[in-house]
């Protein structure tokens, strides 16, 4: 008996029962969403422990094994390896905190039963992406995630910017999704199967040009979803316009689950036998370098606080893609392993710290009602706890040694410098911009108070508690950087490289 199906059942049950629960007036829907997301977090922890004690999990929908009477998989399978388990844990954790935060943050808005339904659906879509081992199932979950996030970005539909950002995100996002669907259709037409592991087998037997076209379509779509640079423009609009708890999920989770994780999964577990690692890896490194520079440099010049954080997300995605790209080119070497482990580590770290920073931004907007940094001078005097949380988050994101961002960035710097010094230099330049952006914000916060700020105060407990938990997570993870890296991130990177193991788990029938 595995806990894995409950990862989907519980959020789905929560979302479907939300319209009925919300017929009870009062706080029923908030309480229900919190309970459901907390239960999902518990299941996420269980699944993580299961994967870590027993190795890659294989779960077949509809029967005990994926084969039936055939000798190839015919059913939808879910396959969770170590990287997937890490993603499950971080998604359930940040989603729970975002729901908890929304209770107070969203209390002035209307239509909240839809909000909580959508937030659970968003969590469901991301969990589905990281556990699935079937490429069409992956597409379906990707669309669940994307459509929920389009609706959530445009949730405050009485503001012009939410509508504008929602339309922009939806139009280009649907186009990106349709690229992925086209890729799935091409693969199915060529190889006649939709199971990821078995596609890898068929591709090893017969690598075709169709597979390369499909890979190009997948890469295009997924680079869009992860906010890589030439197509990052939706992100810089969507994150500021969304409610802050949603920005925390979008920036912390959506671009990683639907972008980076999916890219790593598709490249390593599906296309690995057919692709040329050097070409594909350098394509990703190329986009990573552009993303690094553009994202971080644009963050420096922003005056809108959430826009700054959104561009900083773009910049951090650049680091993650850089690690991923080096992990592809330097397959099988120590450098590649460190790079990939650093990328996975940075996914987790960035999810935690960017969620914290967006929650802080939300608290400031909630209390003062402006996102303009020029009007927020002297915030540290009147909102000390919030400003402290921002200080920790900012220090972590630029990679100060006692905090968690240091270790993951160090792994990426080290591997990129060993791999190619130019890439190392680009990474350092990105961090220099990133530091400039955050130091600028901190100087504003610790400056002389302006009138607008004088009457502000720290938010209530249900907004402070998620921030506190995230601050604690940053500090505690920062105390054991190398232990976490050796115990979790390096094995996860090795598991991602282990294409044969992934296929063997599937074909062995688990």
Chain contacts with other proteins (rule: CB under 8 A): 5, 8-9, 12-13, 15-20, 23, 59-64, 113
β-bridge partners, 132? 78
CB of 8 or CB of 427, closer to other proteins: 8
Task: State the chain's maximal CA–CA distance in angstroms.
Answer: 74
CA 68 to chain centre: 35
Q: Do 89 and 454 meet the contact criterion of CB atoms below 8 Å apart?
A: no
CB burial class (10 A; 0-12, 13-18, 19+) of residue 469?
A: middle
132 vs 59: CA distance, rounded Å: 9
Tell the smallest beta-carbon distance from residue 61 to other proteins (Å).
5
479: enclosing H helix or E strand: helix 461-479
CB of 63 or CB of 422, closer to other proteins: 63
CB of 17 or CB of 420, closer to other proteins: 17
Q: Do 92 and 39 meet the contact criterion of CB atoms below 8 Å apart?
A: no
How many CA atoms does the CB half-sphere of 359 hold within 13 Å? 39
CA 16 to chain centre: 24
> 340: closest CA among 502, 494, 498?
494
CB of 13 or CB of 446, closer to other proteins: 13
CB of 15 or CB of 293, closer to other proteins: 15
Tell the smallest beta-carbon distance from residue 10 to other proteins (Å).
10
Tell the smallest beta-carbon distance from residue 461 to other proteins (Å).
31
Q: Do 96 and 38 meet the contact criterion of CB atoms below 8 Å apart?
A: yes
> Rounded to the nearest 5°, which phi and psi values hold at 78?
-110, 130
Provide the strand spans (E) within 220-350: none
β-bridge partners, 278? none
CB of 28 or CB of 61, closer to other proteins: 61
β-bridge partners, 60? 77
Helix axis angle for 28-54 and 112-131, nearest 10°, is 10
Scored b (16 or more CB within 10 A) or e, 196-221 reads: bbbbbbbbeeeeeebbbebbebbbbb
Tell the smallest beta-carbon distance from residue 378 to other proteins (Å).
41
Tell the smallest beta-carbon distance from residue 188 to other proteins (Å).
21
CB of 61 or CB of 216, closer to other proteins: 61
Tell the smallest beta-carbon distance from residue 94 to other proteins (Å).
25
β-strand 57-60 against 77-80: which pairing, if any?
A: antiparallel
Tell the smallest beta-carbon distance from residue 121 to other proteins (Å).
11
Helix (H, G, I), strand (E, B) or coil at 58: strand
Tell the smallest beta-carbon distance from residue 402 to other proteins (Å).
44
CB of 81 or CB of 113, closer to other proteins: 113
CB of 59 or CB of 445, closer to other proteins: 59
CB of 95 or CB of 137, closer to other proteins: 137
Tell the smallest beta-carbon distance from residue 113 to other proteins (Å).
8
CB burial class (10 A; 0-12, 13-18, 19+) of residue 432?
A: middle
350: enclosing H helix or E strand: helix 334-368
Tell the smallest beta-carbon distance from residue 510 to other proteins (Å).
12
Tell the smallest beta-carbon distance from residue 246 to other proteins (Å).
21
CB of 75 or CB of 440, closer to other proteins: 75
């Amino acid at each position: 008996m595995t806990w894995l199906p409950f990862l989907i059942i519980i959020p789905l049950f929560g979302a479907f029962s939300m319209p009925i629960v919300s017929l009870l007036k009062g706080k029923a829907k908030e309480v229900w969403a919190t309970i459901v997301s907390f239960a999902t977090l518990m299941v996420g922890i269980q699944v993580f422990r299961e994967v870590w004690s027993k190795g890659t999990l294989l779960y077949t929908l509809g029967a005990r094994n994926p084969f039936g009477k055939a000798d190839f998989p015919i059913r939808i399978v879910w396959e969770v390896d170590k990287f997937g388990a890490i993603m499950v844990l971080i998604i359930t954790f940040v989603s729970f905190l975002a729901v908890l935060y929304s209770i107070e943050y969203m209390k002035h808005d209307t239509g909240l039963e839809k909000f909580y339904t959508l937030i659970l659906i968003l969590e469901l879509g991301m969990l589905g992406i990281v556990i699935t081992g079937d490429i069409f199932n992956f597409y379906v979950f990707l669309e669940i995630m994307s459509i929920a996030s389009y609706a959530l970005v445009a949730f405050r539909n009485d503001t012009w910017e939410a509508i504008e950002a929602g339309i922009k995100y939806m139009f280009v996002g649907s186009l990106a999704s349709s690229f992925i669907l086209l890729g799935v259709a091409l693969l199915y037409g060529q190889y006649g199967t939709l199971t990821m592991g078995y596609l890898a087998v068929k591709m090893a037997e017969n690598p075709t040009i169709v597979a390369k076209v499909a890979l190009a379509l997948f890469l295009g779509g997924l680079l869009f979803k992860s906010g890589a640079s030439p197509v990052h423009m939706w992100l810089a609009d969507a994150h500021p316009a969304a409610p802050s708890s949603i920005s925390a999920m979008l920036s912390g989770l959506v671009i990683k689950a639907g972008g980076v994780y999916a890219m790593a999964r598709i490249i390593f577990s599906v296309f690995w036998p057919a692709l040329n690692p050097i070409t594909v890896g350098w394509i990703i490194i190329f986009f990573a370098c552009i993303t690094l520079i553009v994202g971080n440099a644009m963050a420096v010049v922003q005056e809108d606080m959430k826009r700054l954080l959104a561009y900083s997300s773009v910049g951090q995605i650049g680091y993650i893609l850089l690690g991923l790209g080096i992990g592809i080119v330097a397959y099988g070497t120590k450098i590649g392993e460190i790079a990939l482990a650093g990328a996975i580590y940075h996914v987790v770290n960035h999810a935690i710290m960017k969620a914290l920073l967006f929650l802080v931004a939300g608290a400031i907007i909630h209390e003062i009602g402006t996102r303009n940094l020029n009007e927020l001078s002297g915030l540290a005097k009147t909102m000390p706890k919030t400003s402290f949380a921002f200080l920790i988050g900012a220090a972590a994101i630029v990679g100060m040694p006692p905090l968690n961002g240091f270790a993951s960035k160090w792994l990426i710097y080290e591997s990129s410098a060993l791999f190619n010094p130019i890439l190392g230099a680009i990474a350092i330049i990105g961090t220099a911009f990133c530091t400039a952006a955050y130091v600028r914000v901190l100087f504003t916060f610790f400056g002389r108070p302006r009138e607008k700020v004088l009457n502000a105060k720290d938010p209530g407990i249900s907004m402070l508690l998620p921030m506190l938990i995230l601050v604690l997570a940053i500090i505690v993870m920062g105390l054991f950087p190398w232990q976490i890296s050796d115990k979790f991130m390096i094995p996860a990177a090795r598991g991602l490289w282990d294409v044969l193991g992934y296929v063997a788990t599937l074909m062995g029938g688990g």
